[in-house]
Structure 1
């Protein structure tokens, strides 16, 4: 068992940290909202730090799941950041979805201090975090990954190293590109079926067993048909992720025409007041 710090206790980070504690790891947590860290400790044991630097002191592994590039920089190298007190040889594992650029920047800063760094964004949503069944896409050195993988296993269904620093974030971009296209296709199909007078649930029962089947279809079609979206991965966060995808595509010379279009459709949902709704709320603009 290891001494682990977990930075960020949102809908993903909180359950992930819980799985670490359940596995018997010695867990210290930090959250920007102190009350949330206090509540986590009251529910699951362990300790809390009032700053990232305080939380990671003595940790062998530091896991982070925060919001965006700036948040990651803040918990790593900002005032009271983790890198200031991490012991040489400790490994920082970042589960945040951020740009490959900031990942490589933080990896270089970590290496200069004798620290390991693995970018390890996740897919599977809140349910995957709660059930310890996330897909984890990793980038970094083989040595850092091999050390971190047994710790990540506490909440992973599958965990793979896909290349050097930044590879995990690039893989997560591919994941979000796929989801954007799939969600638009599912939204169009369900809206089409409703206008055609078909029973959407009955149709999905059939087509989900064929080539059209997807995680989104199986797990989101009922709530989409019921116009329920007050859960899950928020549209605001999806647009943040798609912005990273589109910016990176420009940098590497890739073409993402469908992703760019769906990003604008999500903008429509935001303007309808649905920024905090689940990404499946894409169907709202078709009703």
Structure 2
């Protein structure tokens, strides 16, 4: 993990719900930044492991974790998981006090963000949708990009605290805007990875030294994060890391559903989604999204 310093921020009582590959290190950064962290995870052993490593406390339910917290962060799997930890039995919303803030880092639908924001306001607190980009390494290194939707005052409270695990935290509009921005992000990535896959496969068929080619073109107009960070491993056929194809298909499903609602035309995104389905059929659902090249080699 990259060693990093934390800007001085007054200690706050926070909860973190969901200690997966993203949430575990994100919650760890909050603890190292000096906040009083209570964690909840569906598998209690993971919570116990986190407490042994970082201190703080664990709770048996989202409600118990959220009780007494100024800010409740969450990073779970999907819309249904998010509803479960917020408004479900023993959900966090039942434990949150007026004036507190719920910050959702799940990549979910804009619809559920707006739904839960309305419920939160009825109960006297705020909900910020705040999906992230940067993957597991970004979470480990405290270098995530956070796209937010919600109330400006609540965002201003959350931002300095979220910078414990982020390099940029930006408010993009009202509730749902963060999730919509994350969809834009995933549309861009889908097209980039497909283009990179075709380019590398073409170069290999042509007999080129693709590591050398990527080094050269990576200094010009073709350069991208995907080329720099995934191009070399694509050439080597290494995919057992990173952001899983299964997760990307979940995200693209959200994108395509939103496009149906707003009338956006996404022909390339829809096609790449089906290409990822091919990778799943090959048994690569847990491989990194760069494994898209497997269809071509």
TM-score, normalised to structure 1, is 0.99
Match of residue 5, structure 1, among 9, 15, 27: 15
Alignment-derived partner of residue 94 in structure 1: 104
Shift of 1:266: 0.1
Alignment-derived partner of residue 60 in structure 2: 50
CA distance in 2, matches of 1:116, 1:148: 11
1:231 aligned onto 2:241: yes
Residues 247-258 of structure 1 aligned to structure 2 (within 5 Å): 247-258=257-268
Alignment-derived partner of residue 157 in structure 1: 167
CA distance in 2, matches of 1:227, 1:44: 36
Q: Secondary structure at the match of 1:154?
A: coil
Match of residue 216, structure 1, among 204, 207, 226: 226
Alignment-derived partner of residue 140 in structure 2: 130
Alignment-derived partner of residue 37 in structure 1: 47
CA distance in 2, matches of 1:143, 1:172: 22
Shift of 1:143: 1.1
Match of residue 201, structure 2, among 187, 191, 196: 191
Alignment-derived partner of residue 34 in structure 2: 24
Match of residue 188, structure 2, among 178, 184, 191: 178
Unpaired runs of 5+ residues, structure 2, are 1-10
Match of residue 273, structure 2, among 250, 263, 266: 263
Alignment-derived partner of residue 255 in structure 2: 245
CA distance in 2, matches of 1:14, 1:199: 39
Shift of 1:41: 0.5
Tell me the matched-pair count. 287
More divergent stretch after superposition (268-277 vs 143-152):
143-152
CA distance in 2, matches of 1:111, 1:200: 54
Q: Secondary structure at the match of 1:97?
A: coil
Shift of 1:38: 0.6
CA distance in 2, matches of 1:148, 1:117: 11
CA distance in 2, matches of 1:157, 1:210: 25
More divergent stretch after superposition (111-120 vs 219-228):
219-228
Shift of 1:209: 1.1
1:70-123, Cα deviation, whole Å (9 max, x unpaired): 000000000010000111111000000000000000101111100111000000
Alignment-derived partner of residue 79 in structure 2: 69
CA distance in 2, matches of 1:183, 1:233: 12
Alignment-derived partner of residue 118 in structure 2: 108
Shift of 1:283: 0.4
Q: Secondary structure at the match of 2:221?
A: coil
1:241-281, Cα deviation, whole Å (9 max, x unpaired): 00100110110010000000000000000000001111010
Q: Secondary structure at the match of 2:265?
A: coil
CA distance in 1, matches of 2:157, 2:33: 16
